[in-house]
Amino acid sequence: RFAPFHAAAASVFERFGRTRLVPVVSLASPEAAEPVARALLRGGVDVMELVLRTPSAMQALRLIASKVPEMAVGAGTVLSAEQAEQAVAAGASFLVSPGTAAISTHLTTSHHTSSARCGTNPRVVEWATQRGVPIVPGCATASEIEAALELGLTHLKFFPAEARSAAAEMYISGTRPDSPSTASGGAAALKALGGPYKDVRFMPTGGVTQANLPSYLSLPGVFAAGGTWLVPAEAVAKRDWAAVEALTRAAVQAAAEAS
């Protein structure tokens, strides 16, 4: 199910599911936007998350959406409703938010009213759900997952995937009965955390690499993995689009073998 987005989200998430990879891209210059998108396409990936962390990010997003329409480009690190609106106007087909802090909110959507805590800015979720824009907010604890479910969200970013606290270590090893109060902790933590939530699908991001990619994609609750290693800053600086293509091809092969 893709509530509350229906057909729009189904189309986006089906595309995610084809390669199960979401390159997380940061561009300091809009001149690199089109070459990066085309290198990813040649490597076999037709979806990407462009993070809104640089002054030229919105321009780069607009260029990819207009010049490389076969690429489904989404906006990442969306921290406000204003950013969400600008990104969708620029051509973003989905939104991703980091969700590093739980915020209480009384949220009204076209589907229901909910008082919940979710690991993202509630105004971003509200803006997206009211307009049918697919959004993948970051969550990393059971409380945040349940809050997201209350808001009708079923596709979440597990972030940061590779951060591990002492509490998470104890929970994974079974030495304490309660779930860790701090987030994340690798594929083992995601497997344990996602176990009770069979209707939730996760996109681990933050520390995912070519080496640990199979451990995440082998989990039944993972619909895709996000990572920066596909478009390294060094390759972008050198305009080494062949390197981006090669990294993408290797990741596509690894993802296929893990599925």
On whether residue 35 sits in a domain, the answer given is: yes
- Under DSSP, the state recorded for 180 is P
When divided into structural domains, the chain yields a total of: 1
On whether residue 16 sits in a domain, the answer given is: yes
104 bridge partner residues:
117
- What is d(CA 139, CA 153) in angstroms, rounded to the nearest whole number? 11
Is 90 exceeded by the pLDDT of residue 225? yes
pLDDT score recorded for residue 8: 67
On whether residue 146 sits in a domain, the answer given is: yes
Strand 135-139, strand 47-51: pairing = unpaired
Is 50 exceeded by the pLDDT of residue 112? no
pLDDT score recorded for residue 72: 96
Domain of 45: which CATH number? 3.20.20.70
- What is d(CA 62, CA 88) in angstroms, rounded to the nearest whole number? 9
Is 90 exceeded by the pLDDT of residue 85? yes
Domain range for residue 149?
Answer: 5-103+117-172+183-258
Contacts of 175 (CB under 8 A, 6+ apart): none
On whether residue 108 sits in a domain, the answer given is: no
On whether residue 97 sits in a domain, the answer given is: yes
- What is d(CA 140, CA 256) in angstroms, rounded to the nearest whole number? 26
pLDDT score recorded for residue 114: 43
On whether residue 99 sits in a domain, the answer given is: yes
On whether residue 41 sits in a domain, the answer given is: yes
pLDDT tens string 155-208: 999 999 997 544 444 444 444 444 443 445 799 999 998 999 999 999 999 999
φ/ψ of residue 39, rounded to 5? -65, -40
Rounded to 10°, the helix 186-194/142-150 angle is 50
pTM for the whole thing? 0.84
Query: Can you say whether the dihedral through the CA atoms of 234, 135, 37, 47 is positive or negative?
Result: positive
Scanning 117-240, the segments in alpha helix (DSSP H) are 122-131, 142-150, 166-173, 186-194, 213-217, 233-237
* H and E: helices and strands count for the chain: 11, 10
Q: Which residue has the higher pLDDT, 255 or 5?
A: 255
- Residues marked active site are found at 49, 157
On whether residue 195 sits in a domain, the answer given is: yes
Taking residues 55-84, what's their average pLDDT? 97
Cβ–Cβ < 8 Å for 149, 139 = no
